[in-house]
Amino acid sequence: MAAILLIEDDPLVRRGLQLALGRHGHEVEAAATGEDGVAAFDAAPPQLVVLDLMLPGIDGFTVCRRIRARGTVPIIMLTARGDDFDIVGGLEAGADDYIVKPVQPTVLDARIRAVLRRGGTGPDGVREFRGLRVDTVSLTVSLDGAPVALTATELRLLLTLSGSPGRVFSRRQLLEAVWEHDYLGDSRLVDNCVQRLRAKIETDGADPVYVQTVRGFGYRFGPV
């Protein structure tokens, strides 16, 4: 069971998905506008957000960026608009998955569970990947049982990347998430921080296992 925030303006779709996901064992909080959705997120951060793209007031792209700036909670974008431009826009805004309406509740439930599994965070707040252990509660990191000393910025970078394994983050997205949303800085800050982090957690910096480069775009956390 997951605590889910559903942001959907259509009352019939909203109520139908809320009831259906509830039957699948999830606890669903619903909001009808982008503003209400962001407020609900701040009041009680969920484990996952299901977000409609077409919303009154601020649209789904803006809501997605605002939620992503607050952390790494998985976001599934749910919308009737399925052209490539909107899909790419949604993913670049920070969505982890994108589903085109109409969708069967069983399919949405399966995608929710898949996204949560990719997140890799156990019920005790621990993420483990090939010997690397990230405790999101105590904010400690270890590699093959040995503690790893990270700076605050390196830790924020690792928490951001490891929160969505396989997801590609652009340098701009990492600047906003790690160095604050409105940070106006040089993207080389990201590259330098990645190099320092790799030096502490990677066995072979030329062939990284954890923080991988996606040429021409940014970085992702492996394994994919």
DSSP state of 215: T
Helix (H) or strand (E) holding 164: none
Which has more confidence, 75 or 211?
Answer: 211
In this predicted structure, what is the pLDDT of residue 107?
86
- Nearest partner of 158 among 180, 124, 181, 132, judged by Cα: 132
The rounded distance, in Å, linking the Cα atoms of 93 and 110 is 23
Which has more confidence, 73 or 44?
Answer: 44
Whose tokens are 């009737």? That residue is: 80
Q: Which two tokens stand for residue 101?
A: 């309406």
Whose tokens are 């775009």? That residue is: 217
- Nearest partner of 166 among 129, 112, 124, judged by Cα: 129
User: Structural domains in the chain?
Assistant: 3-116 (3.40.50.2300), 126-221 (1.10.10.10)
pLDDT one-digit tens code per residue, 91-122? 777 787 888 888 888 888 888 887 776 555 55
In this predicted structure, what is the pLDDT of residue 147?
94
In this predicted structure, what is the pLDDT of residue 125?
72
Mean pLDDT score across all residues of the chain: 84
Contact 186, 195 (CB under 8 A): no
The rounded distance, in Å, linking the Cα atoms of 91 and 73 is 14
pLDDT one-digit tens code per residue, 127-180? 888 889 998 878 899 999 999 998 888 888 999 998 888 788 888 888 888 876
Report residue 183 CA to chain centroid gap. Answer: 20
pLDDT of 224 above 50: no
pLDDT one-digit tens code per residue, 168-206? 888 888 888 887 644 555 677 889 899 999 999 998 878
Angle between helices 171-178 and 188-201 (to 10 degrees): 80
